[in-house]
Amino acid sequence: MPVDQSTHASPDRTQRSPRAVQRLIEGQFESLSPELQRAARWVTRHSPTLALHSMRHSARAAGVTPATMTRLAQRLGFDGFEEMREPFRQAMAQGDVEVKRVRPLPASEQGTAQALDQGIQSLNKMHTANVASVVALNDVQTLQAAAHTLVEAQQVHFLGLRVCHSVAFYMSYAYGLLFGNGHLVAGTGGTLSDQMAGIGSSGVLVVLSQAPYSRQTVEAVALARRHGAVVVALTDSPLSPLTTGARHVLLYDTRSNSQLHSGIGAQALAETLVATAAALGGQTVVQHMRRRQAHLRDSGAYWERPEDQE
């Protein structure tokens, strides 16, 4: 099978590292075909597997053909798959790549109490790491820039579908306690595309999605951008389809040993972004919160113990 001829100069062998390979992927990702993008996403997320296994095994795990792995390596400037894999193997040999065989939480009818306890303890550590990823993956300047975009916007719209819907709802609700220009995108009655078209150039779309990415979300973001909306993307990878054309990209981890990717990183990032916007909002935030608190108090929104039961 002919190889991809659109190769680049081979990377300097003295500067090769897993991170260098990832930077090459990030720099060329948008120019790759959908099949090569699928392989590239897998490489960036499964470096221990890449270091340990053959091209055929890696290709099968990524859901592509072995020839696709070869073409990806050549597009990045390597002679072939083995040369692309070598930095990961070297890093593992030097102890720079953390390899953990994560044991999934056992089904209750199969797992012992001890195994279940170990699985829960491991999951708790991953939760902690996912929260910490907010600071590790996003510097203060990046967070401030994204928050400033929200504060200065005429209208801010929050979109998250499937597993990310609860986080989008939280952001819309919490942001609404601070500012009066936030809206949750619900897409009720099949109106999602209508809402995206209505955002326009004066609005900001804050969107959340993580692998596997919701097709509706990706298409909605593309439509909003075509109508001039500014996009703030909260997602799990710099190679996420949400990053295309986004003004701000904020990242979080989704590590888990359960059947589902964790949403705790997304929640932590959402809270951090809202809190940063609150800090930048000044007296506008203070005054709006006072009005909202007065409304909630007068409407009896929160339960209070009756006086005769005290």
pLDDT digits (tens, 9 = 90+) for 251-281: 999 988 887 789 999 999 999 999 999 999 9
Of 165, 153, 143, the residue nearest 271 (C-alpha):
143
Both 33 and 148 in one domain: the answer is: no
Predicted local distance difference test score (pLDDT) of residue 90 = 85
Q: Is residue 306 part of a domain?
A: no
Same domain, 87 and 207: no
More confident of the two residues 237 and 308 = 237
Task: Give the residue among 180, 154, 135, 162 at the shortest CA–CA distance from 271.
Answer: 135
Structural domain contains residue 117: no
Q: pLDDT tens for residues 204-258?
A: 999 999 988 999 999 999 999 999 999 999 999 999 999 999 999 999 999 888 8
**Residue 288's CATH number:** 3.40.50.10490
Q: Which CA distances in Å does 33 have to 26, 28, 29?
A: 14, 10, 9
The reported pLDDT for the residue numbered 161 is: 96
d(CA 104, CA 295): 47
Residue 198 lies in a domain: yes
Residues 79, 227 share a domain = no
Under 8 Å CB-to-CB from 44, ≥6 apart: which residues?
Answer: 22, 25, 237, 239
Which CATH number is 30's domain given? Answer: 1.10.10.10
Q: What number of other Cβ atoms are within 10 A of residue 263's Cβ?
A: 20
The answer on 175 and 34 residing in a single domain is no
Residue showing tokens 């597993």: 163
Please state, in angstroms and rounded to a whole number, the distance separating the CA atoms of residues 192 and 119. Answer: 39
pLDDT at 24 over 50: yes
User: In terms of domains, do 26 and 175 share one?
Assistant: no
In a domain, 118, yes or no: no
More confident residue, 194 or 97: 194
pLDDT tens digits along 70-121? 999 999 999 999 999 998 888 877 765 444 444 555 555 455 777 888 888 8
Cβ-contact 180, 134 below 8 angstroms: no
Contact 63, 43 (CB under 8 A): no
Say what the pLDDT of residue 61 is.
86
49 in any annotated domain: yes
Cβ–Cβ under 8 Å, residues 68 and 36: yes
Q: Are 204 and 70 members of one domain?
A: no
Are residues 64 and 142 part of one domain? no
What is the identity of the amino acid at 218? V
Question: Strands 182-184, 155-160: parallel, antiparallel or unpaired by DSSP?
Answer: parallel
Cβ partners under 8 Å of residue 72, min gap 6: 32, 36, 39, 40, 43, 84
What pLDDT is stored for residue 245 in this prediction?
A: 92
Render pLDDT for 126-149 as a digit per residue (tens, 0 to 9). 899 999 999 999 999 999 999 999
**Residue 124 clears pLDDT 60, i.e. is over it:** yes
For residues 6 and 23, the model is more confident at 23
| Number of structural domains the chain divides into | 2
Instruction: Give domain status of residue 163, yes or no.
Output: yes
pLDDT at position 308, please?
Answer: 57
Does the reported pTM lie above 0.75?
yes
The reply to whether 116 falls in a domain is: no
Residue numbers of the domain that contains 35:
13-93
Task: Let me know whether 136 and 89 are in one domain.
Answer: no
- Residue 287: predicted pLDDT: 93
Q: Specify whether 88 is located in the same domain as 147.
A: no
**In a domain? residue 2:** no
Q: Is the peptide bond before 212 cis (omega within 30 degrees of 0)?
A: yes
